[in-house]
Amino acid sequence: MNSKPVTIGLCGLGTVGSGTYKVLRDNAKVIAARAQAPLEVIHVGARRDNPACDLGDTRVSRDVLAVARDPEVAILVELIGGTTVAKELVETAIRHGKHVVTANKALIAEFGNEIFALADEHGVEVRFEAAVAGGIPIIKALREGLAGNRIEWLAGIINGTGNFILTEMRDKGREFADVLAEAQALGYAEADPTFDVEGIDAAHKLVILASIAFGIPLQFKSVYTEGITRLTTQDVVYARELGYMIKHLGIAKQNGEGVELRVHPTLIPDNLLLADVDGVKNAILVEGNAVGPTLYYGAGAGGAPTASAVVADLVDLARDLGVGQACRVPPLGFSRDNLRDLPIVPMERVVTPWYLRMEVEDKPGVLSKVASIFSDQGISIEALIQKAPAEGQTRVQLIVITNKAMQGSVDQAVTAIEALDTIAGKLTRIRVEALDG
């Protein structure tokens, strides 16, 4: 191998930035052997030093835009996060004819369409394997490994913080707020946990996966997003009794009506491999019409795992540059003129089974009234548990798993049930997915 080095400008020296610098240094030999050229970071952009990352005599600029303008840099790696400076940085790099690798899910999910158009215009590539599920090469799997399939649906545990919280609630019977506080102390959750626990982070990732799976433009605003903040340990326990695990899933489905894009707590059968994915790990289950179900599992966050994905993109680019050709695979796997504008299915038309929990008066006739409301809406019941009343209580918990029903019908049934004077308060409702093809 006598190839010239591939020159890299690395912006951002946080967990992922310093992780990437270290992986490129520590694995330099095997990376160069695979890329057929050494990958050399020649310019780092960071507002401040990271004492945990020894940059040697690598050139450092405090102004990250200086890296994007550096004529010696062939590939700009954006690891600063956010959508303001990062966007300007990426656009500047593209305008200066540089290829871009980023781990920034928000940037791609919210501004990917325009960034890809700009990259097209300038004949450069934008890669973002690290933006979804950390080190798991799921974007490559969807865009290339499963390219022979019409993807029917995918369902993923794509937020490690949320999965850690749900695992703790299940295993230790702890309540949400309690576990969240611990996750923050451990550094798994941000001081402002909204992005994680409200599903916004998962929605960013889901929209990227769905666009590649189905060949549709990125449309972050179309994702239905429901967090895990209202889940109770009680529901986690009842779900297990019924043979289900509660996971916070990002789900994308393609059917006759269009595309469903939704992030929400979901009961899934406990015999699925996906149900066994615990703690901060990520996993994505993909159903292709030829291959059937495949699953991809690994670390969804962290410096070195995310760096693994960043470097995979760099090696891919180096291999392109080695044969003097970039842009052999479009960012979403389909060229822009091959993207389809499929309608997004409104949530009231989404069909799933449901888990419904209600507190009812423990007297004759209540169950029959509830059952007749379901029946009026054409909803059939798959399983039902009625708990014995607690000592001195007159109310009991009634838990119902319905068969598949359109959300609109369930909405009406729930409204009718809540209006009964034998029902206390609101129903708890969680979607169920069999994920069986």
Interface residue list for its own copies (CB under 8 A): 1, 19, 23-24, 26-27, 30-31, 33-36, 129, 134-137, 140-141, 143-150, 215, 273, 276-277, 288-299, 304-305, 307-312, 314-316, 319-320, 322-325, 327-329, 333-335, 337-338
Determine which one of 87, 140, 205, 281 is catalytic. Answer: 205
Q: In one letter, which amino acid is 39?
A: L
Is 262 buried (19+), middle (13-18) or exposed (0-12) by CB count in 10 A?
A: buried
Nearest to its own copies of 93, 307 (CB atom): 307
Question: Distance between alpha carbon 319 and the CA centroid of its chain, in Å?
Answer: 28
Q: What string of H, E and C letters represents the secondary structure of 351-383?
A: EECEEEEEEEECCCCHHHHHHHHHHHCCCCEEE
With a CB cutoff of 8 Å and minimum separation 6, the contacts of 134 are: 160, 282, 298, 299, 300, 301, 302, 305, 306, 308, 309
Residue 167, amino acid: T
For residues 107 and 228, give the distance between their C-alpha atoms in angstroms, rounded to a whole number.
24
Based on CB atoms, which residue is closest to its own copies, 26 or 49? 26
- CB closer to its own copies out of 199 and 298: 298
Six token digits for residue 90: 């990426």
**Whole-number Å distance between alpha carbons of 420 and 405:** 21
Residue 265 or 288 having the CB closest to its own copies: 288
Residues 6+ apart with CB under 8 A from 384: 398, 399, 400, 401
By beta-carbon proximity to its own copies, the closer residue of 260 and 287 is 287
Burial of 399 (C-beta count, 10 Å sphere; 0-12/13-18/19+): buried
Closer CB to its own copies, 134 or 227, in the complex: 134
Burial 308-319, CB ≥16 within 10 A → b, else e:
bbbbbbbbbbbb
Q: What does the alpha-carbon distance between residue 234 and residue 66 come to, in Å, rounded to a whole number?
A: 54
Q: How far is the CB of 91 from its own copies (least distance, A)?
A: 25
CA distances from 302 to 15, 164, 298 (A): 7, 14, 11
Q: Are 331 and 129 in contact (CB under 8 A)?
A: no
Q: How far is the CB of 373 from its own copies (least distance, A)?
A: 39
- CB-CB contact of 413 with 377 (8 Å): yes
Neighbours of 38 (CB within 10 A): 18
- Chain position carrying tokens 């799997």: 141
Show the tokens assigned to 43.
């310019």
Q: Decide whether 51 or 324 has the Cβ nearer to its own copies.
A: 324
Q: What is the closest distance, in whole angstroms, from the C-beta atom of residue 76 to its own copies in the complex?
A: 17
Amino acid at 358: M
Least separation in angstroms between residue 329's CB and its own copies is 6
In the complex, what is the shortest distance from the CB of residue 338 to its own copies, in angstroms, rounded to a whole number? 4
Residue 314 or 413 with smaller CB distance to its own copies: 314
Q: Is 205 a catalytic residue?
A: yes
Closest contact distance (angstroms) between CB of 340 and its own copies is 9
The strands making up 75-78's β-sheet, listed across from edge to edge, are 59-61, 39-45, 6-11, 75-78, 99-102, 126-127
Q: Which two tokens stand for residue 25?
A: 């240094």
Cite the DSSP H helix spans in 249-347. 303-322
Q: Find out whether 139 and 208 touch, Cβ atoms under 8 Å.
A: yes
* Amino acid at residue number 194: T
Looking at the Cβ atoms of 139 and 423, the one nearer to its own copies is 139
Catalytic machinery residues: 205
